[in-house]
Structure 1
Amino acid sequence: MRNINKVIIHCSDSDNPHHDNVKTIRQWHLDRGWQDIGYHFVITKNGRIKWGRSLEMIGAHCKGHNIDSIGICLTGRNNFTQEQFHFLVVLLKKIMREFKIPKENIFGHNHFNKHKTCPNFDLSKIIEQL
């Protein structure tokens, strides 16, 4: 297993109901020439946590920060559900426990790229629950 010390939260940047699945996001990333979906987890509107790329694999979700991070994507652009937020907290708690990651090492994509608005929701409200 690689050394993981942070988690980066993303959104899929689409509120289209047909994009509310890991298969579509994987195809977007394959179309870009990537090996697989860039995220390790995807949380769909109904709160289901779906596997993306294996945790053993370096992600492809945040330039310059993939080697030591886990990427989590919530489907959506501006419309997220309480189920997504609930299961994001559940998943983060599990990851934090397993990899001994402090809540100070949970970031939105926009933290590392000021040209991004992703994850497009107030991550501090999620971090308060950790």
Structure 2
Amino acid sequence: MRTVSEIIIHCSATPEGKDYTVEQISAWHRQRGFCMVGYHYILYRDGTCHAGRPLDVVGAHCKGHNAHSIGICYIGGVTADGHTPKDTRTAEQRKAMTLLLRMLHTQFPNATLHGHREFANKACPSFDCHEYDYIFNIKSV
């Protein structure tokens, strides 16, 4: 297993209320030259958590951070017009995110939590992921 020091949350930047699959995201990523989906986990709108890349495989989700991070993506992140950033997480996605982050923190207790926007000039993941800092025993600033 590779060393994991960061967990990075993303959104798919897809319109609220629309479902997308790992297979669709993988096709988008392959069109960009990736060998498969770049994220390790994808959270569907119904709260189901789907595997992307295996954890022991370096992700393709955050330039300069892939080698030592895990990428989580939730479906959504923009308004229905497909352009304006918005926290579109469903109640089911919020619950799934909490459970997934607890599991990952147990497996990688020294990893820190980040939103993609902390490393790129983007709104992604369209919410402040540090609402989950309590899982990592960190007080938000």
1:77-113 Cα deviation digits (max 9, x unpaired): 23220111111110011011112235xx100000111
Q: CA RMSD in A?
A: 1.5
Partner of 1:92: 101
Q: Which runs of 5+ in 2 are unaligned?
A: 78-85, 137-141
Give the partner amino acid of 1:125.
Answer: E
Q: CA deviation at 1:17?
A: 5.2
* TM-score where L is the length of structure 2: 0.84
Partner of 2:8: 8
- Shift of the 55–92 alpha-carbon distance from structure 1 to 2, 3 Å rule, reads same
Q: For 1:1-130, list aligned pairs within 5 A.
A: 1-15=1-15, 19-77=19-77, 78=86, 79-102=88-111, 105-113=112-120, 115-128=121-134
* Deviates most, 61-70 or 15-24: 15-24
* Rounded Cα–Cα distance in structure 2 between residues aligned with 1:24 and 1:30: 10
Q: Per-residue displacement from partner, 1:11-70 (whole Å, max 9, x unpaired)?
A: 000026555211111110011110110000000000000000111110000000000000
Alignment gaps of 5+ in structure 1: none
Distance in 2 of aligned mates of 1:49 and 1:16: 18
Whole-angstrom distance in 2 between the partners of 1:89 and 1:18: 22
CA distance, structure 2, for counterparts of residue 17 and residue 23 of structure 1? 18
Q: Distance in 2 between matches of 1:10 and 1:52?
A: 13
**1:68/1:82 CA distance change after superposition, 3 Å:** same
Letter in 2 for 1:119: P
- Aligned residue pairs, count: 127
Shift of 1:125: 2.0
**TM-score after normalising by structure 1:** 0.90
